[in-house]
Chain A
């Protein structure tokens, strides 16, 4: 159980990068970008094929980021210059990427089991620090019987995610960042303030898909393999993270919203892990569970709000009825 939750949190932080990318397109640009399903795989494919061909893992991961960025830019160009509707631009790019990803990998899947990855490269150095022993001793003291193999992946991914979060927070406060946000909020207005909204969308989608591909590259390296079909439904997982995070942790400021997205990504993984432990459900049901989670996260706040409102009105009427009775008496 502990190990299952541990690895859920671990992958939560890896997928958080993807969720942040989805947040940028879906929330900031108000652009439902389905490219994500393809660009996530592109990230894994580029990283895997580079590593297999001897590129240092950090550089391979960077290549993945660039590949995702380019994919996003193409979606943006299709939408802004080709005047294709946002949803369709994303779908077209997603389908095109399926073939492109196959071309990149040369075969439907690549194993990285005996290759060096960013994670196992760091683990050698990590072991000497003694952090694992320290954290595991705490867990033992707390009564855990089985312990995680290494904390390196989790802690590195937390650091990477936090850095990315702060970079996004900063960027969205710069002059360009403000114009980018306004493009999703009131396009007509920001165009009248001399911002090139086409470029804003293209850049925004580039960054978004860059993050998605980066996440894909980390996932491939952590799993030790990548497959051309791992991206199916990725956009929904991203949305689940964004929507769950926002519903629970709020969106008052940008910094709060990005934190909520990361927390949402982790929470999603934990909920999914727990759900899959139910006897009746098996791994094939993961996507059904994901879809259900999104639906619950979308519908539940509205029902709660409606009930609060109804109970407020009921109370008010009850009070008035009492007060009115007193007046008559």
Chain B
């Protein structure tokens, strides 16, 4: 489904600030794979994410979705195949537009936009059914402007918008990091549910190790632009935070910088 081959990029090449953000990353995801990505700041997690979504282009290497090489495809074209939820709850929705209009824009993602009315009766019904699933009562507020919603509600709506058209790839970029613990837990739970329901191929970056262990069937750990650890299946189920930290120390010979890595 998603194939990342030999992906590399260096920022500020040839200057003192040179930074090898990604070094020969290879990652293959089968349909329905749910990979969680952890690593300290500057490990290259977000860079990898941006390269898959198309907002950054690699120096060398390829990104393939469904066997199709999309490496040089502009972001807006690629996003037909990719659903995305950002860290900032404000980033995934348009605040001055209503809930139903936001959903209509997400609905049009993998279709050609035309001069049809965006929100018709039939779609409204479908939006309502989808909103019922996230259980926040938003189905009764279809005409409310999204700017009036709380951060948690907006993020839940973003998650729904990213997933209900069943994209080939779902990218979650620390999408619970800006929420309070209760809301973060709700979104984590919703994420597990929708990914399972649609069998979405998902890549999730997180700073929360517990979340990385709880969700998904595979886990990768990144450091200095490289994938340093890959765990999957039964092995992942048996993993604990202590073991992960121990692994990191063993591979890198140093303590994991826990400045932002939330341990539990």
Judging by beta carbons under 8 Å apart, are A186 and B91 in contact? yes
Judging by beta carbons under 8 Å apart, are A175 and B108 in contact? yes
Interface 0/1 of A171-198, CB less than 8 Å to B: 1011111110110011011111111110
Nearest Cβ on chain A to B104's Cβ, whole angstroms = 6
Judging by beta carbons under 8 Å apart, are B93 and A194 in contact? no
Judging by beta carbons under 8 Å apart, are B76 and A175 in contact? no
Judging by beta carbons under 8 Å apart, are A181 and B97 in contact? yes
Find residues 65-124 in chain B having any chain A CB closer than 8 Å to their own CB: 75-80, 82, 84, 86, 90-97, 101, 104-106, 108-111, 113-119
List of A residues within 8 angstroms of B97 by Cβ: 178, 181-182, 185
Judging by beta carbons under 8 Å apart, are A173 and B118 in contact? yes
Bound-state CA distance A190–B96 (Å) is 13
In this complex, the interface size class of chain A, counting residues with CB under 8 Å from chain B, is 20 to 34
Known contacts A174-B118, A175-B113; decide if A192 and B105 are in contact (CB<8 Å): no
Other than the known A173-B117, A192-B75, what 9 A-B pairs have Cβ atoms closer than 8 Å?
A: A176-B114, A178-B101, A178-B105, A179-B105, A179-B113, A189-B92, A194-B77, A196-B77, A197-B76
Residue of B whose beta carbon sits closest to that of A174: B115
Q: Which of A170, A171, A185 is close to B94, meaning CB atoms less than 8 Å apart?
A: A185
| B53 located at the interface, meaning its Cβ lies under 8 Å from any Cβ of chain A in the complex | yes
Judging by beta carbons under 8 Å apart, are A186 and B114 in contact? no
Nearest Cβ on chain B to A255's Cβ, whole angstroms = 13
What are 9 of the A-B contact pairs (CB < 8 Å)?
A: A174-B116, A175-B105, A175-B115, A178-B118, A182-B94, A188-B91, A192-B86, A193-B79, A194-B80
Nearest Cβ on chain B to A293's Cβ, whole angstroms = 25
Bound-state CA distance A170–B119 (Å) is 11
B binding-site residues for A, Cβ under 8 Å: 53, 75-80, 82, 84, 86, 90-97, 101, 104-106, 108-111, 113-119, 161
List of A residues within 8 angstroms of B53 by Cβ: 192
Bound-state CA distance A178–B106 (Å) is 10
Bound-state CA distance A188–B86 (Å) is 10
Residue of A whose beta carbon sits closest to that of B83: A192
Nearest Cβ on chain A to B143's Cβ, whole angstroms = 9
Judging by beta carbons under 8 Å apart, are A175 and B94 in contact? no
List of B residues within 8 angstroms of A176 by Cβ: 113-115
Nearest Cβ on chain A to B154's Cβ, whole angstroms = 11
Known contacts A175-B116, A177-B118, A178-B118; decide if A194 and B110 are in contact (CB<8 Å): yes
**Which 7 pairs, one residue from A and one from B, show the smallest C-beta to C-beta distance?**
A175-B113, A185-B94, A194-B79, A178-B118, A186-B94, A182-B94, A194-B80
Interface 0/1 of A195-227, CB less than 8 Å to B: 111000000000000000000000000000000
Bound-state CA distance A174–B92 (Å) is 20
Q: Which of B76, B80, B90, B117 is close to A174, meaning CB atoms less than 8 Å apart?
A: B117
